[in-house]
Amino acid sequence: MRILLTGSSGWLGSALAPLLRGIGHEVIGIDPVPSAETRIVGSIADRDLVMRAVGENRIDAIIHSGALHKPNIESHANSDFIAANVQGTLNLLDAAVAANVQRFVFTSTTSLMISQAIRDGFKGGARKAAWLTEAMSPEPRNIYGVTKLSAEHLCRLYHLRHGLPVVVLRTARFFPEADDMAHAIEQSDANTKANELLFRRLTVDDAAQAHVAALEKAPELGFDIFIVCAQTPFQPDDCADLIADAPSVVARYFPGFPALYARKGWTMFPSIDRVYDASRARDRLGFACRTSFADVLAALAAEDGT
User: Which is nearest to 208 in space by CA: 179, 178, 169, 176?
Assistant: 169
Sequential DSSP letters for 157-173:
HHHHHH---EEEEEE-B
First-to-last CA distance in the chain?
Answer: 46
Which residues partner with 5 through β-bridges?
Answer: 29, 63
Q: pLDDT by residue (tens digit) across 266-281?
A: 999 999 999 999 999 9
Tens-binned pLDDT, residue by residue, of the chain (306 aa): 999 999 999 999 999 999 999 999 999 999 999 999 999 999 999 999 999 999 999 999 999 999 988 888 889 999 999 999 999 999 999 999 999 999 999 999 999 998 877 777 666 667 899 999 999 999 998 999 999 999 999 999 999 999 999 999 999 999 998 887 788 899 999 999 999 999 999 999 999 999 999 999 999 999 999 999 999 999 999 999 999 999 999 999 999 999 999 999 999 999 999 999 999 999 999 999 999 999 999 999 999 776
Q: Order across the sheet with 166-171: list the strands.
A: 40-41, 26-31, 2-6, 61-64, 103-109, 166-171, 223-228
Phi-psi label, residue 80: left if phi above 0, alpha if psi -120 to 50, beta otherwise: alpha
User: Is residue 249 within a helix (H) or strand (E), and if so which, with residue range?
Assistant: helix 239-253
Q: pLDDT by residue (tens digit) across 179-236?
A: 877 888 999 999 999 999 999 999 999 999 999 999 999 999 999 999 999 999 999 9
- Residue 233 near residue 222, CB atoms below 8 Å: no
